[in-house]
Structure 1
Amino acid sequence: MSRMPTRPTLRLLPGLLAGLCLVFALPAFAAKVYQWKDAKGVSHYSDSPPPDQAIKGRTMNDKGGSVAPTAAAKPAINANCSNARSNLTVLQGSTTVNIDEDKDGKPDRALNDSERANRTTLAEAQIKTYCEGASVASGA
């Protein structure tokens, strides 16, 4: 025996179908838009490039505003590389390095010379791993 859907289920069906249509239509809204001014100074917007004109690229942010072009994009800073370099600088310095063993946010004791040397070696290895063109400054 087949069971017919209940009325609340049937009421939800049009909304569900409309939602699915919107989800599948989203890529259509991500089309490239071209803007140009004609000889009279009138701005035109189109999804195809202007006829017989040079195209100048422009980057837009998510709010529709223009983003100023940069001459050369800087590489993203690798957080692991930054942390390893920072750790090495502290470990090679002359100040006491404390450690929080119970993770309560308060230092419990200072590193001894052996632990400091081990952590310095570890920081140097991390720099070689995480930093491009890594050069480890060995001092102290």
Structure 2
Amino acid sequence: MRRIVTLAVLLAACPLAFAQAYKWKDAQGVTHYSDSPPPMGTKYDKVKTTGTVEAPAGANPTAPPTPAPPKAAPAGPASDTPENRQKLCATLRSNMEILSKQQQVSVDDGKGGQVALDDAGRKRQIETTQAQMTLYCK
């Protein structure tokens, strides 16, 4: 019975001994770690894993842990103050100026990349910006 339990534990631990991790940075410079390879065409490094939870070489186990930096509060809606409205209006005016010029404009595609605005997209952005200016910049 003891041999069966030992065999089961060893078989369960084997994948940890051969685990592979990958490290890469995305377009925004955020470092990612994963046990599966990143998307094709992404430069990555293979990270060797040992399957243990030991401190890395050179770490001083007797030193007190350094406190983590304070986490930034998640970006939520800004309070409706005259200063915030002025900042918003300045941003909206700047956006309108950029959209009004006949130059190529690109926007965030939500996946870490950029996509160029076509004429219909530019028109929608102008309409949205005008509506926001009417609402917030009285």
Please give the TM-score of this superposition, normalised by the length of structure 2. 0.36
Higher RCO, 1 vs 2 (CA within 8 Å, ≥6 residues apart): 2
